[in-house]
Structure 1
Amino acid sequence: MRAPQLVIVETDGWIGRLLGDLAADSSWLVRGTRSADSAIALVRTRRPSVLVVQVDPADDKSPALELISDANRLCPDVPVIAISDVKFNDADRVAWTSALFDLGVRYALFPPLTRPVLEDVVSGLMGAATVRAGIVIEPVPQADKPKPKPRLRRAEPVDDVIDLADEEAHE
């Protein structure tokens, strides 16, 4: 089985730090790069992959948008997540999200972004990529938990107890 891989294209390493624990716990390969060509080469290998691309809207020379478009064209079954650390107003966020979806991203994430949200998105897409590749990952067997000791039962009421309410009803 070829291990699933998480390909991260970023400039400053914060995405890799956020996803490092999840990748280690899930036994994924983490491939960080700054080059669009090497990112495309990595996702074209025959292994389940998710491509995470850092988008910087202020950088006109950023190859991120071209990388997203190329990845969608060359590897349409590899999910792409675009992440920006720039906080936008509502109108700009909607415009950027729409533009990124047009290029082929599955998710566009902007601040405020929490680690659990990012981990959920990545693990869901990686799970789907693994299923598409036909790889079955067996769950790690849990150690048998000791069974609790049986509780002592209370003594059953004795049948010869006289119930006064029953006697009054018979009179």
Structure 2
Amino acid sequence: MRPHTSRGGRHWDGSPRHLPHRRTLRIAADSPSRLLRAAQTGRCRHCGNRIDRYERFDGRLIDLHPAEVVTTDVSATCRWHLSSGIAYPHDDGSGWCRIPHTVLCPQQRTSHSDTGSPRLASLRRELGLRTRCLIDTGTFTPQASPNTEAADGDHG
């Protein structure tokens, strides 16, 4: 029995040896379709966790936590809902809402960090553990806080 050698640019199973370079989708800021610009994912520069970036009703951007949470766990000032790819800062009457990432970010202290339900505290801890894993594996390097940089500059 002879082994089959691959010919050309294909593996033995017919899959290509070299995949074409993937291009990222770029949408112009003035695109009439907001749905194409909605939910641009990224990483928080403070903790390295995933965020979804949406355009707000006033044209600015907001970073929201990727998952929805129960509205009873979130204060009314932190509830956001999405409609046609636009984020609105109030309750839409459903039992679920989205919340700003800054409320849950383990590296940021906001006025909302100490308040909230046990479920939000649990989510904050999960994000903190994920941040620690990202740091330990070397996939995320936290930025030095402004207070740390100022303290280092005073001593040197």
Task: Give the TM-score band, short-chain normalised.
Answer: under 0.3
TM-score of the superposition, structure 2-length normalised?
0.22
Which of these two proteins has the greater Rg computed from alpha carbons?
Answer: 1
Q: Higher RCO, 1 or 2 (CA under 8 Å, sep at least 6)?
A: 1
Q: TM-score, normalised by structure 1?
A: 0.20
Greater helix share, structure number: 1
